[in-house]
Amino acid sequence: MSEEKFTDINGKPISLECRSHSSFCREFVVSAPKVSLRAVMVCTCAVWLSAYAAFFVTKNTAVLSSAIVTTLVGMMVHIHLIKIDHERLLIVGSLGVQVSSCFASGRESATFIEMSSIKDIVINEAIHMQRVIYYLCILLKEPSDPNGVSGVVPLFQSSKPRLNCLVKIYKSCQEILGQC
């Protein structure tokens, strides 16, 4: 287990955890910063203040209860569907690669790609808004053409770590891919 100071492309601190379960099985966990209390308080206060203002004008209590319901539903939707807590990459030599994202509510959505359909794991450049960033991706094999690439699966899309973090993960993955 090792943790160093890494940041994502926007400068926010993230943490990387590398676990080696065996000589051919490694797991990388990139954690994004948690939901900040300040942002939650600001949003809630904004919604409730505007609800009080509306109540003052219309004298209808339905405005207040709808504000409460909106806040609750919004928070649940945010932690269950939007806020990704950490992203995990599990690579098992000669079996495949599993990419999973865990949301703040604990929900985990995973995809498994078999080793027979993986061509390589590379670091690519991309133009994202107004800047050029690096991202790690898996190249998939084309069944008909041995030299072709049928698809690209980008990894760590929501945490977007910087190059130093990606290089570390890349070197580890290449060791395992080179074995099989």
Partner 1 sequence: MVLKIFFPQCCNRADSGLLVGRWVPGFDSVVVLAVIHYPFIPGQVKKYLSEMQSAIQLELTVLGSWSMPKDGQEGMDSFLKDLSTIFPQGRWLQLSRELGKRGFACQVIGRDAAVPPRGQPKEGGDDEKEKVIFIHYDQRKVMLSHLHPAHGQEPAAEGVSELRLVFQTVAQSQPLFFLDKYDDGPIKLTHWQSEGREASILVELIKQASVPMCCVLLRATGVRVTGSWRVLNMWPVRFVSSKLSTCVQLSHRTEHLQTISSPRRAQQHADFMRKANIFVSFLVDIALGLLLISWLYRENRIGRLANTLVPVADHVAKELQELLQWLMGAPAGLKMNRALDQVLGRFFLYHIHLWISYIHLLSPFIEMILWYVGLSACLGLTFALSVVSDIVALLTFHIYCFYVYGARIYCLKIYGLSSLWRLFRGKKWNVLRQRVDSCSYDLDQLFIGTLLFTILLFLLPTTALYYLVFTLLRLGVVLLQGFIHLMIDIINSFPLFAGGLRLFRPYRLAEGVKFKVLCEEPGMSLHLMMEINPLKLSTAVQQYRIPTYSCYPKDSWAALCKKLFVGDLIYPWTPLHKGSKED
| Residue 96 C-beta: closest distance to partner 1, Å | 8
- State the nearest-atom distance from the C-beta of 103 to partner 1, in Å: 15
Structure tokens at 19: 């676990």
Region of 7-15, 18-26, 67-75, 127-135 interacting with partner 1 (CB under 8 A): 18-26
Query: What six digits make up the tokens of 12?
Result: 């926010």
The answer to whether 170 and 163 have CB atoms below 8 angstroms apart is no
Q: Which of 60, 116, 164, 174 binds partner 1 (CB under 8 A)?
A: 116
Q: What is the DSSP string of 58-80?
A: H--HHHHHHHHHHHHHHHHHIII
CA dist., res. 121 & res. 151, Å (int): 12
Contact between 174 and partner 1 by CB under 8 A: the answer reads: no
Two structure tokens written together for 127: 């133009």
Cβ neighbours of residue 47 closer than 8 Å, sequence gap 6 or more: 67, 70, 71
Number of chain residues interacting with partner 1 (CB under 8 A): 21
Minimum CB separation from partner 1 for residue 26, in Å? 10
What lies within 8 Å, CB to CB, of 64 at 6+ separation is 51, 52, 55
**Window 88 to 107, contacts with partner 1 (CB under 8 A):** 90, 92-95, 98, 100
23 is an interface residue for partner 1 by CB under 8 A: yes
Binding of residue 63 to partner 1 (CB under 8 A): no
Q: Is 170 in the site for partner 1 (CB under 8 A)?
A: no
Is 112 a binder of partner 1 (CB under 8 A)? yes
Q: How near is the Cβ of 125 to partner 1 at its closest, in Å?
A: 25
For 57, phi then psi, to 5°, come to -80, -45
Residues contributing to the site for partner 1 (CB under 8 A): 21-25, 27, 90, 92-95, 98, 100, 110-112, 114, 116-117, 143, 180
